[in-house]
Amino acid sequence: MAARIDEFLIDVRPQREWGWLVISYLFLGGAGAGLFLVSLYLEHLWAGVLGLLVLLVGTVLLLLDLGRPERFWRAFFRPQTSWISRGCFFITLLFVLGVIELALQWPGLELPAWLSEGTTLRTSLRVAGGGAAVLVMIYTGFVLAPSPAIPFWNSAFFPIIFFAYSLLAGIDILILTSPMLPGPSLDLMLLERNQNYLVILCLLLVLSHVSVMSSSAVAARESIRLLTRGRWASLFLGGVIGAGLIVPLLLALPVVWEAQVQTVFALTFILALLRLFGDYLFRFLVMRVGLYDPLL
């Protein structure tokens, strides 16, 4: 129903400015930061390294998306108003603090006393690193949310949804990579249980967002129509909600109750893949159903 994008029609108009590079950044940036956050909690050096690497890949994609990547440094100039500008600081901060944190954790490193585990400085550094990760996870929500242009995005839910999804994805990456990851082994059971709470949280948030938007502006209603009945219904209902959230939730029941190591292992692996797929799809659809209101 929405107009062909390049026709001079007064109609609901889809945004096409941001495509797969930005979508991939949203996914990888969030997931990387989420993984880093979890690594702090688990005190797992290699998880942290991996987190930063994922974030790095995401950031490179974001840079590639710029019309003038070589001017990226100019994006630091408007933190007073621009969330993108702020985001640049958050990402940078996360990299800087993350690298310091990980460097300090490096095995066999002799640290001066004022830098050793337990000192206020170390704790503050760690808290700051965690804070930066949280900011990176949520600021993209703030990039979308304040925009009055695209009603579907114009919602306080987005920073929270993005936070939840980023954490979910971060942990899923950890689950997937755990067999190959050096360092102490991880309690997959524990992670998997946590994931279920996160899945429920995501489900609630996404559904609430959808229900709020269904009674909102023209373009938002059209976004919802696309997601629930229109062009993207099967991907949204089947992919994001079904395969990405509900199916993992149901399949997780045996994991949570039974706890046979092999089953758990195989299953969590599949569940993580499903959830990651759902997460990426979610970010993809959020961008695809970003529609502008008709001008008249």
Partner 1 sequence: MARYGMVIDLDICIGCNACTMACKSEHATPGGIFWGKVLEKEVGKFPAARRIFLPVLCNHCKNPICMEVCPTGATYQREDGIVLIDYDLCLGCRSCMEACPYGPRAFYGGDGAYYENGRTPFEEAKQHFPEGIVMKCNFCVDRVDQGLNPACVQTCPTECRIFGDLDDPQSEVSRIAAEKKARPLLPEKGLEPSVFYIGG
Partner 2 sequence: MEAVLGREDVWLHSVCETCFAFCGILAHRQDGVVVKIEGDPNCPASAGHLCARGQAALISLYDPSRIQRPLLRTNPEKGIGVDPKWREISWEQALDLLTEKLQKVRAEDPRKLVIATFDHYALGVMIRPAWAVAFGTPNSDWVGYYCGNYLHASMYLTNGSFHSDFDLDYCNYAILLGNQQGFMGGLNANVAARKMAEARRRGMRLVVVDPVGTNAAAKADEWVPIRPGTDGAFILSLIHILLNELSCYDQEFLKRRTNASYLVQEDGGYLREGPKGKPLVWDRRSDGAIPFDESNADPALEGSFVAGGKKCRPAFQALKDHVKNYAPEKVAPITTIPAQTIRRIAKEFGEAAKIGSTIVIDGKVLPYRPVAVNIYRGAGAHKHGTHTALAVQTLNMVVGAFYVPGGHRGINLLGPSGRWAPGMTDEELITPPAAIGRAARYYDFDETPPEDLGHREVFPISTNRSPIYEINLVNPKQSGLPYTPEVLIVCRRNLMMCNANPEESAKMLKQVPFVVNFSTHIDEVAEMSDLVLPDKHFLERFDLFPNRYTHTMSPHTGYFYWGIRQPVVEKPMGEAREWIDVLFDVAERMGFLEDVYKLLNMTLELKDEYKLDPVARYALEDIYDRWAKSLFGPEKGLAWFKNNGYHKVPRSVEEKYPSPFIRPRFPIYFENYLRAKRSVEKVANHLDRKLDVSDYQVLPEWKPCAAYDDASPPYDLFVVNFKLPFHSLSFTTQNPWLSDLAEHNPYAYKILINAETAKRKGVKDGDAIWVESAAGKVKGKAKLTECIHPEVVGIAGVFGSWAKGKPVAKGKGVHFNTLLPINMDRIDPISTGLDSCIRVKVSRAA
Nearest approach, Cβ of 10 to partner 2 (angstroms)?
10
Q: If contact means CB under 5 to 8 A according to the sort of partner, which of partner 1, partner 2, none does residue 68 touch?
A: partner 1
Question: Distance between CA 267 and CA 248 in Å, rounded?
Answer: 9
Q: Is 70 in the site for partner 2 (CB under 8 A)?
A: no
Nearest approach, Cβ of 12 to partner 2 (angstroms)?
15
Q: Which residues, at least 6 apart from 139, have a Cβ–Cβ distance to it below 8 Å?
A: 83, 86, 87, 90, 159
Tell me, what amino acid is at 136? V
Q: If contact means CB under 5 to 8 A according to the sort of partner, which of partner 2, partner 1, none does residue 4 touch?
A: partner 2
Q: Is 110 in the site for partner 2 (CB under 8 A)?
A: no
Q: Which residues, at least 6 apart from 87, have a Cβ–Cβ distance to it below 8 Å?
A: 136, 139, 140, 143
Q: Is 6 in the site for partner 2 (CB under 8 A)?
A: yes
- Return the number of the residue (2 or 33) whose C-beta is nearest partner 2: 2
Question: Distance between CA 145 and CA 79 in Å, rounded?
Answer: 17
184 neighbors 178 (Cβ within 8 angstroms): no
Q: If contact means CB under 5 to 8 A according to the sort of partner, which of partner 2, partner 1, none does residue 273 touch?
A: none
243 neighbors 274 (Cβ within 8 angstroms): yes
Nearest approach, Cβ of 233 to partner 2 (angstroms)?
19
Q: Is 8 in the site for partner 2 (CB under 8 A)?
A: yes
CA neighbours closer than 13 Å in the CB half-sphere of residue 272? 24
Plot region of 216 (φ>0 → left; ψ -120 to 50 → alpha; else → beta): beta
CA neighbours closer than 13 Å in the CB half-sphere of residue 83? 14
Nearest approach, Cβ of 157 to partner 1 (angstroms)?
18
Nearest approach, Cβ of 8 to partner 2 (angstroms)?
5
Which residues form the interface with partner 1 (CB under 8 A)? 6, 8-11, 13, 15, 17-18, 65-68, 71-72, 74-78, 81-85, 88, 143-144, 146-150, 290, 292-296
Question: Distance between CA 219 and CA 11 in Å, rounded?
Answer: 9
Nearest approach, Cβ of 74 to partner 2 (angstroms)?
25
Stretch of residues binding partner 2 (CB under 8 A), selected from 2-10, 48-56, 78-86, 193-201: 2-10
Q: Using CB under 8 A, list all residues that contact partner 2.
A: 4, 6-9
